[in-house]
Structure 1
Amino acid sequence: MGRGDLTNEECSRLKPHLPKSVEQGGRWASHRRIIKGILYRQRTGEMPWRDLPARFGSWKTVYERHRHWSADGAWDRIFAAVLADADAEGRIDWSMVSVDFTSCRAHQHAAGAVRRPPRVPGNDARPGQHRPDEGFGRSRGGLTSKIHLAREGGRRPLAFLITPGQWGDAPQFVPVMERIWVGRLDGGRPRTRPDRLGGDKAYSSRHNRRYLRRRQIKHTIPEPKGQRANRQRRGSKGGRPTGFDKTIQERRNEVERTINALKNSRAVATRYDKRAYVFHGTVTVAAIRLWLRV
């Protein structure tokens, strides 16, 4: 077993959730070897698919399977199934969920995607995570993408969203929260609401706080000085002061550590994928990898 490969225990956790057959009626072959190749490229990052070592088989088979599963939502379904298993085992810490973002610089080879909308292999539909802008934003440093992330108390991702790098953080708060969806193995209602939510000043807006109150989610989000001064200037019309607990806020570092763990995959720290749906699949594989480790 090579460094970074899946262990036998991790493979046993993952195997029940892998696709069993393809649309043409055949069967996928060598799941474990192909996934090893995907993880190897994800860990090394800068390696082109064509340069994968021969022990993983044909590079085209590895790439096409990753692209196919990214397009048709297979990686998303596997991630949801792994989360459901973890919740049934009591490994999800719902006591404190935090939201944050991280920027990913795009490699020069990630640019230049054909403007024609891609198609799901074997289907006429577009990939589920397709974006017309491909999730790229331009800045002085070049192309960038953002990963908006919600993590649980055990420092592992619960949900994420990919946007262009110049998009604001506060408007993505609600979309990220709406993506928290953990199913129940016994068929009950999925869990979508944490006990408490934490965030930094970037997420302190009336819209976000109103959303959390409507869903009855306790939250610890500091109020910027400008918002506080504006509220005090309006007097009774400015509303009540926001509650804030410094002790709870100290756990905010956990979301930064989650981002660091996610970016241990070099293909996540630097974006090499041209298509947004393929990069979404790459980030999903990194999140699955973190949950497979006990």
Structure 2
Amino acid sequence: MGRGDLTNANWVRLEPHLPASGQRGGRWNDHHKVINGILFRVRTGIPWRDLPERFGSWKTIYERHRRWSAEGTWDRILRALQADADLACRIDWSMVGVDSTSSRAHQHAAGAPIEEATRPEKRTTPRHHRPDEGLGRSRGGLTCKIHLAGEGGCRPLAFLITPGQWGDAPQMIEVLERIRVPRPKGGRPRTRPDYLGGDKAYSSRRNRCYLRRRQIKHTIPEPKDQRANRKRRGSKGGRPIGFDSEIYKRRNEVERTINRLKNSRAVATRYDKRAYVVHGTVTTAAIRLWLRL
């Protein structure tokens, strides 16, 4: 077993959730070896063509990763692992944090054509397809941003890929809507944390109304300009925002989750052109974290 490969314990937990065969009825090559190749590339960030020969054909590994990213197979595997962890009471719902991080786009990540729905040769649209490919241009060049919600055990529950210049506050609701942990023994999937923490970038009337409507307790500091505007309006400005400094200290958990994700070089730097492949790469890194129980 090479460095970073799946252990026997990891494989026992992962194997039941893998597809059994290909779309055309044939058997796929050894899942174990191919997934180890995908994890090696996500961890090191090397070009697909430079994968070590012990993993087999680089094209087989790349096509498996691309196909599973397009079909949402990686997402289903991630939810299945989260469901197993929740069944074993290994998800800390007492505090879920939201935050974002930027991923600098490599020059090889630029130049992907924007697919139009009117193209006759395109029969299906991949999951998480974006017409802007999740790339934004700023002074630092091309970047994308990963908006993330992480549980208290420093593992990601849900995330969203957007262009790098997009703000944090408008994405909070969509990230929370993506939290969906199935319950194998029956019942609706769990979608609501007990408590939510975020920095002042997530402070907005829209976000706070959404959290109150879903009865999610939260600690989000109020920026100075919003506080001054509320005081200026007097009684019409509403009540002061509640803030618990002790609970806010746990916001470092989502920051540590991001650090663990970005230990994978293919997440810290974006090398993939297509947004849905980037989503699959981040999902693969998240699966690796959920296997480390």
Report if the CA contact (8 A) 1:158-1:180 is conserved: yes
TM-score by length of 1: 0.97
Q: Give 1:284's aligned residue.
A: 283
TM-score by length of 2: 0.97
Mapped to 1, the partners of 2:217 and 2:51 lie a distance apart of 47
Unmatched segments (≥5 aa) in structure 2: none
Mapped to 2, the partners of 1:187 and 1:256 lie a distance apart of 33
Moved over 4 A (4+): none
Q: Give 2:61's aligned residue.
A: 62
Q: 1:62 to 1:117 in 2, by over 3 A?
A: farther
Report if the CA contact (8 A) 2:150-2:257 is conserved: yes
Opposite residue 275 of structure 2, the aligned amino acid is: A
Opposite residue 8 of structure 2, the aligned amino acid is: N
Mapped to 1, the partners of 2:115 and 2:180 lie a distance apart of 32
Q: Give 1:31's aligned residue.
A: 31
- Give the superposition deviation at 1:117: 5.2
Opposite residue 205 of structure 1, the aligned amino acid is: S
Report if the CA contact (8 A) 2:137-2:143 is conserved: yes
Q: Give 2:255's aligned residue.
A: 256
Report if the CA contact (8 A) 1:117-1:126 is conserved: no
Mapped to 1, the partners of 2:248 and 2:65 lie a distance apart of 38
Opposite residue 42 of structure 1, the aligned amino acid is: V
- Give the superposition deviation at 1:115: 3.0
Mapped to 2, the partners of 1:173 and 1:264 lie a distance apart of 24
Q: Give 2:222's aligned residue.
A: 223
Q: Give 2:22's aligned residue.
A: 22
- Give the superposition deviation at 1:124: 2.2
Report if the CA contact (8 A) 1:106-1:272 is conserved: yes
Q: Give 2:12's aligned residue.
A: 12
Mapped to 1, the partners of 2:95 and 2:115 lie a distance apart of 42
Once the two structures are superposed, residues 151-203 of structure 1 have per-residue CA deviations (whole angstroms, 9 ceiling, x without a partner) of 00101000000000001110001000100100001121111000000000000
SS in 2 for 1:180: coil
Unmatched segments (≥5 aa) in structure 1: none
Mapped to 2, the partners of 1:207 and 1:27 lie a distance apart of 49
Report if the CA contact (8 A) 2:114-2:132 is conserved: no
Q: Give 2:171's aligned residue.
A: 172
Opposite residue 55 of structure 1, the aligned amino acid is: R
Mapped to 2, the partners of 1:275 and 1:187 lie a distance apart of 36
Calculate percent identity across the aligned residue pairs. 76
Q: Give 2:114's aligned residue.
A: 115
Mapped to 2, the partners of 1:112 and 1:56 lie a distance apart of 29
Once the two structures are superposed, residues 240-273 of structure 1 have per-residue CA deviations (whole angstroms, 9 ceiling, x without a partner) of 1111000000111111111000000000000000
Q: Give 2:82's aligned residue.
A: 83
Report if the CA contact (8 A) 1:98-1:198 is conserved: yes
